[in-house]
Structure 1
Amino acid sequence: MPAATDLKPSGACRALIREFEGMRLEAYRDSKGIPTIGVGHTKGVRMGDRCSIQQADVWLSQDLEDAVAGVQMLVKAPITQSMFDALVSFTFNLGASHLGESTLLILINKRNYKAAAEQFKRWVYAGKERLTGLERRRAAEAALFLDDGIPS
């Protein structure tokens, strides 16, 4: 079973992120009011900003690298490719700090993978508001997390 540091995001990971983030070439405010552009890119974005599809893809690759680095730093237990992809999507959306302080991570590092998969559904709020889009995303991440089975 590979360590997180040995894994890279698969096409399924990128597809999941693209599906739930969408791609917008003009800045908009996300569910928390944060200026966002491209595929969920927030760094340095101001309302009124515009970008090309090519720039959105560059930012996606850079932001994906940040999410990967967070997962690789925090996950100490062996995980499958699907688990890695689900965690990268989760971290892309919420940031490594949220993964780092989560029961999800604690359970993974204790190798309690089934219980960890149940934790995704707790992360469906933007502020105090429960969002259907986040419910769907977390359900997809939880399903992907268990897609390759449970490591022995």
Structure 2
Amino acid sequence: MQISDAGIALIKQFEGCELKAYQDAAGVWTIGYGWTQLVDGKKIREDMTITQRTAERLLRCGVVQYEQGVNKLLKVGVTQGQYDALVSFAYNLGVRALGTSTLLKKLNDGDTQGAAEEFMKWTKVGGMQLAGLFMRRTAERALFLS
């Protein structure tokens, strides 16, 4: 499967787009649509800037690794909405977090409703609930259940 335009829109909505590097809530240097990995072979640093075109390229090319990760982890068929929500979740938290989550275990065990409820357990950074993560997980859960 591949992420749909609705899935990309969800990621864009919650990541926002910053063309100048910034530190996210966890202190990680970030740029574009929440991108934290290398940009054209360079580590993201405080003085880095990119164009809107580069931000779009990073998102479109970068999301592929999250699609591949989700595809490898799934043991059951899913709807497009479920898939999009899972890719958004993995884009935000990493494929490893999804792979070790109770959310994935419940989904692969056939407990779709139980899996949906697990989204809301991922709303904190450093023990503190963040409004943005709460809203994102709520939107991912709704898409998952659509």
Bin for the TM-score computed over the shorter chain: over 0.9
- Find the counterpart in structure 2 of residue 18 from structure 1: 12
| Cα displacement string for residues 37-65 of structure 1 (whole angstroms, at most 9, x for unaligned residues) | 00011112111100000000111012211
1:117 counterpart letter in structure 2: A
Matched residue SS, 2:30: strand
Runs of 4+ in 1 over 3 A off after TM superposition: none
What is the alpha-carbon distance in structure 2 between the residues aligned to residue 97 and residue 47 of structure 1? 27
- Find the counterpart in structure 2 of residue 83 from structure 1: 82
- Find the counterpart in structure 2 of residue 100 from structure 1: 99
Superposition map of 1:3-152 within 5 A: 7-43=1-37, 44-147=43-146
What is the alpha-carbon distance in structure 2 between the residues aligned to residue 11 and residue 62 of structure 1? 14
1:66 counterpart letter in structure 2: Q
TM-score by length of 2: 0.95
What is the alpha-carbon distance in structure 2 between the residues aligned to residue 86 and residue 17 of structure 1? 9
2:16 counterpart letter in structure 1: G
Which blocks of at least 5 consecutive residues in structure 2 are unaligned?
Answer: 38-42
Give 1:127 deviation, angstroms.
1.9
Matched residue SS, 2:36: coil
1:10 counterpart letter in structure 2: S
TM-score by length of 1: 0.91
What is the alpha-carbon distance in structure 2 between the residues aligned to residue 125 and residue 105 of structure 1? 19
Give 1:128 deviation, angstroms.
1.4
Identity %: 43
Give 1:126 deviation, angstroms.
1.1
Matched residue SS, 2:12: helix
What is the alpha-carbon distance in structure 2 between the residues aligned to residue 77 and residue 108 of structure 1? 8
What is the alpha-carbon distance in structure 1 between the residues aligned to residue 131 and residue 16 of structure 2? 15
2:12 counterpart letter in structure 1: R
What is the alpha-carbon distance in structure 1 between the residues aligned to residue 145 and residue 62 of structure 2? 24
2:63 counterpart letter in structure 1: L
